[in-house]
Structure 1
Amino acid sequence: MLNKKFSPERQSAFEARFEAQKIAYGPVVFQCVRYAWKRGMLQAIADAGESGLSIDDLAHDGRWTPYVLKVVLETCLSAGVVLIDEGRYALDKTGFVVLTDPITQVNIDFNHGVCYQAMFDLEAALDAERPLGLKVFGDWPTLYQGLSQLPEPARSSWLAFDHYYSDTSFPEIMPDVFATAPRRLMDIGANTGKFTLAALAYDKAVAMHLVDLPGQLAVADTRLAEAGLRERATLHPTDLLDDAAALPGGMDLIWMSQFLSCFSEAAIASIFRRVADALGPRGQVLVLDTFWDRQQYDIASYCLINTSPYFNVLASGNSKVYESEDYIRLARDAGLQLVTARDGIGYCHSLLRFARTEQ
């Protein structure tokens, strides 16, 4: 397990007060920086190079008034996104990251398109342990029932966020998935079928079993048919929050990627029990997930920790980004023992392999 710390050795009282103001004005800074990126201000400044642009230069073509430019760019200046020298704005390093770094852009879009309005209800959602912020999009008990019906740009932002973090890991983990030569492989939380398609392409003999809610499986069904792989996949529409919903048995391998973090500890314990029952002889379980305690860099831990409020206010009300020991403990209680753990996969994933305790 990797140990992390997030604060300097010491902060002066003045430094601490400044950091506190950054928190207080965080939502304002976020929106101004996003505006500067989305509306092309940052790109215009970047195109000018080190010489930069004055407010008059930027206002010349009429895209923005001097007033708007001053409001937005002064906030960007306070955040280190731009710098100013003799009245001319140039891109600072943070602005370069905002303008060019895909994962930063995915995170900004996700927090704006999916989380921002809902976060107003975080206090009530935490108190009730229910996703009370979800009402900004629709009347569903959790986000997952309404995922296929989310309005734009929320749906595209959610999918880009989910896939950007997981897809980078798929090519790297396929040898792990097929290390035991599974013939019957279950993808729990199959979503749009991206992993299933990758697995079917990797191994021509494997038969896939997809488990998810009907809305998600309908999308996966279409994608499998379009790829000509529908005959090698069986769909199992299942609400895993229903403790009585059993899983098909005799599986050589059960795969769960960025899935268990959608549930409370009690629900994860129930899922692990049913997963253990669904394993065939010498069957194993692979869990690919983002654990904030297993990151090499503080920046990854920071992003993961601060994704947990999304799970509360929007996704389920009672789930989060977990520590790895939480999964290991809950799996152990279900009769599964940790076999191996591998970190540093993709951007921030770890792969936990479990087998039945008696094996």
Structure 2
Amino acid sequence: MKHYQGEAHDALAAISQAQRIAFGPMLFQASWCLRETGVLAYLERCGRQGATTAEIAGACSLSEYGVGVLLDMGLGGGLCHLEGERYVLGRVGRYLQNDPMTRVNMDFTQHVCYAPLAHLLTAIREGRPEGLKVFSPDWETIYPHLDDLPEPARASWFAFDHFYSDWAFQQAQDKVFGYEPATLYDVGGNTGKWAISCATRDPALRVTILDLPEQLALARPRIAQAGVADRVCGHPVNMLEAEGPLPGEADIWWMSQFLDCFSHPQIVAILTRIRRHMKPGARVCILELFWDRQSFEAASFSLNATSLYFTAIANGNSRFYHSKQMYQCLREAGFHVEAEHEIPGPGHTLLVARPLPGGQ
């Protein structure tokens, strides 16, 4: 929240920022082209001496015209700067070329989000993921169809998802294993990476993935390949079916970047359903990215941008939440937070919650 308190721009800075927003798509696409055509990589090899448009065109099999319009747009984004008539790669360009997080984010934006976001206004007005029709007119949400996404959207989606969850897994796992669980439920287990990791770490642990049948089908071959099929199984379930039965033997109910896939009322319904099936002494562990808990403004910006993916493409009604809203959801569902842990890296928070005494 500290990043967004008060006016940040004077009049000149404000009108300049307004133009950058107005032409933002042009800068993104130019940056994408500079990366994909190898221009950024070539300039990096040239070092401080840089290169002329003719040299770059020859090295990258492009026309001088193409190189010129892309790099001149890149000047405004800080990707490069001029030394006389020679273009020199800047710090921003180096990050676009080399930083794993930036590359994952750009691929996700280009392959998954860019075309669908043209339907954002309709999605906002209708409360439906109208941009999803770019991939299929028949899909209601993206989640049962992740494996059906066309390439390269499919690869970019999974790379994006795994990049942010995997980074926090080890440290979060240390906290979870401190409770010495014998049985763990991975709610919304996706491809099974967390379940497999936990079962590999503790040979006595039994893990059940609670997810849609389509997601369990994705996880099953990975579980078999990891050699833990005797201790990791799947329970097909739609967690939005509030009255449906659930197994109830887990010591830990784990959710990693799962609840951000649902609206506030849906989160309350899911948590309430879980609470009704928890055995005494069990805990809920929630690993999430909260936009108000980020150390850097760029991280808050990125999370709020990604929320628009949920709006236009994923389901039309979820987002990355402010931490206070998640606390409110837990209270409404009859939980209290007994511990919270800030996980260094992309900025995850691990909430450990238990049912309130006397909850119904």
In the superposition, the TM-score normalised over structure 2's length comes to 0.96
- Cα distance, 1:10 vs structure 2: 5.2
Count of residues in Structure 1 that have an aligned counterpart in Structure 2: 357
* C-alpha contact 2:171 2:343 (8 A) present in aligned 1: no
- Cα deviation, 1:111-169, whole Å, max 9, x if unaligned, reads 00000000000000000110010001112110002111111011110101000001011
- Counterpart in the other structure of 1:283: 282
> Following the alignment from structure 2 to structure 1, what is the Cα–Cα distance between the partners of residues 173 and 239?
25
* C-alpha contact 1:191 1:220 (8 A) present in aligned 2: yes
Aligned partner of 1:11 among 3, 9, 22: 9
> Following the alignment from structure 2 to structure 1, what is the Cα–Cα distance between the partners of residues 337 and 330?
8
* C-alpha contact 2:172 2:343 (8 A) present in aligned 1: no
Which piece of structure 1 moves more, 261-270 or 175-184? 175-184
SS across alignment from 2:230: helix
* C-alpha contact 1:295 1:344 (8 A) present in aligned 2: no
SS across alignment from 1:45: helix
- Counterpart in the other structure of 1:165: 164
* C-alpha contact 1:172 1:346 (8 A) present in aligned 2: no
- Counterpart in the other structure of 1:104: 102
- Counterpart in the other structure of 1:154: 153
SS across alignment from 1:347: coil
- Which amino acid counterpart does residue 258 of structure 2 have in structure 1? F
> Following the alignment from structure 1 to structure 2, what is the Cα–Cα distance between the partners of residues 40 and 334?
52
> Following the alignment from structure 1 to structure 2, what is the Cα–Cα distance between the partners of residues 246 and 327?
24
Percent identical among aligned pairs is 38
- Cα deviation, 1:230-263, whole Å, max 9, x if unaligned, reads 1112211111222223321122110000000000
The answer to whether the aligner puts 1:272 opposite 2:283 as a matched pair is: no
> Following the alignment from structure 1 to structure 2, what is the Cα–Cα distance between the partners of residues 237 and 13?
56
The answer to whether the aligner puts 1:301 opposite 2:300 as a matched pair is: yes
* C-alpha contact 2:268 2:330 (8 A) present in aligned 1: yes
SS across alignment from 1:5: helix
The answer to whether the aligner puts 1:80 opposite 2:110 as a matched pair is: no
- Cα deviation, 1:208-232, whole Å, max 9, x if unaligned, reads 0101111111111111111111111
- Counterpart in the other structure of 1:122: 120
> Following the alignment from structure 1 to structure 2, what is the Cα–Cα distance between the partners of residues 9 and 134?
35
What is the 5 A alignment of 1:176-215?
A: 176-215=175-214
In the superposition, the TM-score normalised over structure 1's length comes to 0.97
- Cα deviation, 1:91-115, whole Å, max 9, x if unaligned, reads 0111111111110110000000000
- Cα distance, 1:8 vs structure 2: 8.0
> Following the alignment from structure 2 to structure 1, what is the Cα–Cα distance between the partners of residues 203 and 280?
22
* C-alpha contact 1:250 1:281 (8 A) present in aligned 2: no
Unpaired segments ≥5 residues, structure 1: none
Aligned partner of 1:42 among 37, 40, 43: 40
